[in-house]
Amino acid sequence: MNKISLIMGIWEQGYFNSDEVIKWADSQINSLEKPDDELIELSLNGPSKCFKLQPYEFPRTKELSFIESFSLRILKLNLSSDSEINTFINWATSAAMGEDTENKEVMFCYMLDDYLGYNSPGTISYFKENIQELLPACKKRVSSLLNQLNA
């Protein structure tokens, strides 16, 4: 898999900011004898500009699975900010629809959606009470993604 596509997918999920992606690209360039043109492009112009390029100009962003996206987003979430949690819940409950209900993260989102459906003020409470059990698996997934990047 193309590392540039992966880091762009991770950036798109908000795990890395633009400066972190540029720093990663610079590190990759410094470690290679002959770096790819795409790495140089990413280093010079950043992910926002590269994201807008056509596929024949720059590698496509890797489309991450729901579980990967969930993991990346949850680890960057400020768990003490109710507004950030609400934003996450709105994304997660929508993104989880149609996903495999064998996954704990998907079932967690379905439960959140049930609370939202009843306009329950307990949605954030349910989130805070139950998210901790999902974090170890999320950390492991994100670690695996970062290992693929040597980041």
Report residue 34 as tokens: 């002959």
Model pLDDT, residue 1: 47
Amino acid at 29: I
- What is the structure's pLDDT at 115? 83
Output the tens digit of pLDDT for each of the chain's 151 residues.
499 999 999 999 999 999 999 999 999 999 999 999 999 999 999 999 999 999 999 999 999 999 999 999 999 999 999 999 999 999 999 999 999 999 999 999 999 998 876 666 788 999 999 999 999 999 999 999 999 998 6
113 neighbors 126 (Cβ within 8 angstroms): no
Distances, alpha carbon 11 to alpha carbons 20, 39, 45, 130, 137, in Å: 9, 15, 14, 26, 20
pLDDT of residue 144: 97
Alpha helices in 32-100 (DSSP H): 37-51, 66-76, 82-95
Phi, psi angle pair for 97, to nearest 5°: -60, 130
Question: Which residue is associated with the tokens 């209900």?
Answer: 101
| Per-domain residue ranges of the chain | 3-63, 66-143
Q: Considering Cα of 97, then 119, then 130, then 151, what sign does the dihedral take?
A: positive
Round to whole Å and give the CA distance between 120 and 98. 23
Predicted TM-score of the model (pTM): 0.91
